Structure 1
Amino acid sequence: MRCKLVATAIAVALSAASVTAHAATGDTTIGGKMYFDVTHIDQKNSDTGKTDKTGTGTDVKRFYLSVSHQFDDIWSANLTTDFNYVASDGETNLFVKKAYVQGKFSDAAVLRIGSADMPWIPFVENMYGFRYVENTLIDRLKFGNSADWGVHLGGKVGQSGMFSYEAAVVNGGGYKHPDRSKSVDFEGRVAIMPIDGLVVAAGGYSGKLGKDTQTMAAQNTATRGDLLVAYVSEKFRVGGEYFAAKNWNNVTSPLSDKADGYSVWASVGIADGVTAFARYDNAKLSKDLDSAKKDTYYNAGVEFQVTKGFKLAAVYKHEKGNYTAATPLPIHVANTKTDEIGVWGEVKF
């Protein structure tokens, strides 16, 4: 399946590139975005010592290539391929992230059919502003997908788009897994901007995550509730995100579990083209089955706008993950600590 998707993505991208030379201005556009880093990682397990992820290297975490075509005033289409390579795990993949046809009937009603952005994670990324440095909380901890295959509807209403909403009925396995299951999942979000820059949003998810099949019935329904409060201006950002999930990692298990967590962040422009930022995450990942399973993460750094479309950031990151270990006996709480320091970058065109 992946090979077919990759072949299709390459063929469409190449044909679109040739169309651009002959089409009227604005009919077809091509863009791209790359996240990369050059860093040193020091990772240590409390039981076994340093892990194989310890070392210095370069990663291209993401490289998106997007092709968009506008058929008329209402209908358009988008294809976005995604490449990533992570030196620490040797993963190299090229796949389709977004592939959809869009009908924009008004600002209040935008319909997308195919693989498209989900209502929550991309919305929070836009508020946070430093996705190239780190995924947002739910994405980082794998309690949601940034895109999925299905039917998506969203829009904005009111003065200056004061109210906005998004809803998606999707397959549930995420954009890397377009397989069908016996049921579909739902994710939704509503947001209000009472004053310029201030955003308050709430959302939720419910479904089987694409795991309810004819040969393996789902035992539980995964649910997640989301809250966000953020203020964003040209020079200043501050915000916080909270989630509470149930059975996210227990859809096919008869056991039940819960998780919750929060993330707070802030950034401020300290000079022209220079921004200082910091973030702190804290999550309980298995409140019923392994109460010791917790994750703490923080980062701090300085971003430099090198030129239009090119950012660099000097950053320090720390993560500590606790869990219950059965070996060596006796049963005890172990942890893995990761410290990373280096330079992260974003190129966008």
Structure 2
Amino acid sequence: MAAEKGKENSKIGKDQTATLQEMQRQIQALQAKIADLQARQEAQADAQVETAKAVNDVQVASAKPADELTRKLDALNKLVDNTHVGGTMFFDVTSQSHKEATGISSLVKKDGHGSTNGTGFDVKRFYLTVDHKFDDVWSANLTTDFNYQVSIGQTSLFVKKAYVQGKFDGLFTVRFGAADMPWIPFVEKWYGYRFVENTITDRSFEGGRSGGTATAGGVGAFGNSSDWGIHALGATTGGNSISYQLSVVNGRGYRNLSRSKSVDTEARFGYSPIEQMVIAVGGYSGKRGYDTEGGAPTRTATRGDALLAWRDKTWGAGVEYFHTENWDDILRYAGTGAGPNPATNSTKDKADGYSAWADWHFYDQFAVFGRYDRVDYKYDNLTSVEEKLKDRYYNAGVSYDVLKNLKLALVYKHNKLDGPVATPYHYKTNEVGVWGMLTF
């Protein structure tokens, strides 16, 4: 019994040992599978990392051209947003009758002194403007001026304005270059009908002085609308507001960039007790660019200005006055006449003028308007005898705002000049037609 029990225990021990060995073998196999699985997972993770890296590299590579394109588009958009291109055209289709007479002869039709008989289409002005804003302070402007030049018989292109501007405050802006002068552009804004006619200080009347002085020819404008120099300006808004401008310039206007020994000064100050009204005064002093080294002795040209104007949505009215001395006769030409001292005789001039205008928007886009100018011009000839010119001008018409940026006007104009009594000279000009202004 004991022997059999021992054999049985021995068998159980062998079975347990076999079982343990089998379990160890299975555990080892399982561990091998787990290790293999871990290796596969690690390899898969490495592959995923490599794939993600490759995808990222592709995305970064493809994003670079897109970012560069976006940057360029942003720069282009900024340039476009900060740059404005525009234009203004003055045009007309009219019929003109111009008559002249000398001495006691009768008026007869004759071309001359800036007038041509007949019917025709004219583009008096075409301004092309480019404005660019660099930042909140600095900007630049370029404005070209196209018109027809009678003296050369062809059209010409000028730089009307070309300046860099620094706007440091509403009351302090500085412009360097060719820019609007203080007086003429200011009056034009209140007048409102520049496309029909220049304001009085900017309107030339030709004839009358020919042969009477050392400088044969007519009488030009009494100011420049733009000139090369430094311009300081500013304004407040609304009622009880002020505006001013001070310009130190060459004196020859935007078409002439010549240099001289001195500079000219023009200034303006305006006060608006209410927004619709302005009271303004101004003045000019200088040699007008004629004070050159080695040139003839000069006088100082002066001009005083005054303006009272009103403009609202329905009515516009104004009166402008000016007085000039030595505007044309800056150079002291030596005389050869029969005066008390012929060697020292020289010419000199003075002028007084006023312009009154009014307009009434009576229905939607329609308005009626009218204007009257009077200029009395006196000058001493080379024999120290004072000569007088009288210029009278008026216009009347009806305007129609076809579009926001297109205005047409049916207008009648009349201009009459009476020359010196000693050598009578006269002319009359009548003109009727359609004048227009296009802006864009």
Structure 1 and Structure 2 fold alike (TM over 0.5):
yes
Does residue 129 of structure 2 align to residue 66 of structure 1? Answer: yes
Deviates more, 1:21-30 or 1:229-238: 21-30
Question: Residue type matched to 1:293 in 2?
Answer: L
Residue aligning to 2:330: 251
Q: 1:168 to 1:87 in 2, by over 3 A?
A: closer
Is 1:58–1:87's contact at 8 Å kept on the other side of the alignment? no
Is 2:196–2:435's contact at 8 Å kept on the other side of the alignment? yes
The equivalent position to 1:238 in structure 2, one of 306, 317, 320, is: 317
Residue aligning to 2:427: 336
Residue aligning to 2:97: 42
The equivalent position to 2:301 in structure 1, one of 217, 222, 226, is: 222
Measured on the aligned residues, the alpha-carbon RMSD in Å equals 2.0
Among all aligned residue pairs of Structure 1 and Structure 2, give the percentage whose two residues are the same amino acid. Answer: 51
Residue aligning to 1:274: 366
Per the TM alignment, residue 270 of structure 1 is displaced from its structure 2 partner at its CA by 1.3
The separation in 1 between residues aligned to 2:150 and 2:295, in whole angstroms, is 35
Residue aligning to 1:29: 84
The separation in 1 between residues aligned to 2:323 and 2:98, in whole angstroms, is 28
The separation in 2 between residues aligned to 1:291 and 1:222, in whole angstroms, is 19
The 3-state SS of whatever aligns with 2:253 is: coil
How big is each residue's C-alpha offset from its partner over 1:271-299, in whole Å with a ceiling of 9 and x where there is no partner? Answer: 10001000000001225555431110000
Per the TM alignment, residue 256 of structure 1 is displaced from its structure 2 partner at its CA by 2.5
The separation in 2 between residues aligned to 1:72 and 1:186, in whole angstroms, is 30
Question: Residue type matched to 1:297 in 2?
Answer: Y
The 3-state SS of whatever aligns with 1:293 is: strand
The separation in 1 between residues aligned to 2:236 and 2:192, in whole angstroms, is 24
Per the TM alignment, residue 90 of structure 1 is displaced from its structure 2 partner at its CA by 3.5
The 3-state SS of whatever aligns with 1:98 is: strand
The 3-state SS of whatever aligns with 2:233 is: strand
The equivalent position to 2:181 in structure 1, one of 115, 118, 122, is: 118
The separation in 2 between residues aligned to 1:108 and 1:167, in whole angstroms, is 12
Greater fraction of residues in strand:
1
The separation in 2 between residues aligned to 1:242 and 1:291, in whole angstroms, is 22
How big is each residue's C-alpha offset from its partner over 1:157-176, in whole Å with a ceiling of 9 and x where there is no partner? Answer: 47657011000000000000
How big is each residue's C-alpha offset from its partner over 1:45-95, in whole Å with a ceiling of 9 and x where there is no partner? Answer: 023721221111111000000001100000000000000137898341101
Is 2:82–2:133's contact at 8 Å kept on the other side of the alignment? yes
Residue aligning to 1:107: 170
The separation in 2 between residues aligned to 1:299 and 1:79, in whole angstroms, is 33
Residue aligning to 1:186: 265
Per the TM alignment, residue 324 of structure 1 is displaced from its structure 2 partner at its CA by 2.3
The separation in 1 between residues aligned to 2:135 and 2:185, in whole angstroms, is 26
Question: Displaced runs of 4+ in structure 1, greater than 6 A?
Answer: 86-89
* Structure with larger Rg: 2
Q: 1:180 to 1:161 in 2, by over 3 A?
A: farther
The equivalent position to 2:153 in structure 1, one of 90, 114, 118, is: 90
The equivalent position to 1:155 in structure 2, one of 211, 234, 243, is: 234
What does 1:288-327 align with in structure 2 at a 5 Å threshold?
Answer: 288=380, 290-324=386-420
Greater fraction of residues in helix:
2
Consecutive unaligned residues of structure 2, counting only runs of 5 or more, are: 1-73, 205-220, 333-345
Is 2:238–2:274's contact at 8 Å kept on the other side of the alignment? no
Q: 1:89 to 1:133 in 2, by over 3 A?
A: farther
Residue aligning to 1:7: none
Q: 1:20 to 1:337 in 2, by over 3 A?
A: farther
The separation in 2 between residues aligned to 1:252 and 1:143, in whole angstroms, is 16
Per the TM alignment, residue 24 of structure 1 is displaced from its structure 2 partner at its CA by 4.2
Question: Residue type matched to 1:150 in 2?
Answer: G
The 3-state SS of whatever aligns with 2:201 is: helix
Q: 1:20 to 1:237 in 2, by over 3 A?
A: farther
Give the number of equivalent residue pairs: 326
Q: 1:215 to 1:122 in 2, by over 3 A?
A: same
Residue aligning to 1:9: none
Question: Residue type matched to 2:322 in 1?
Answer: F
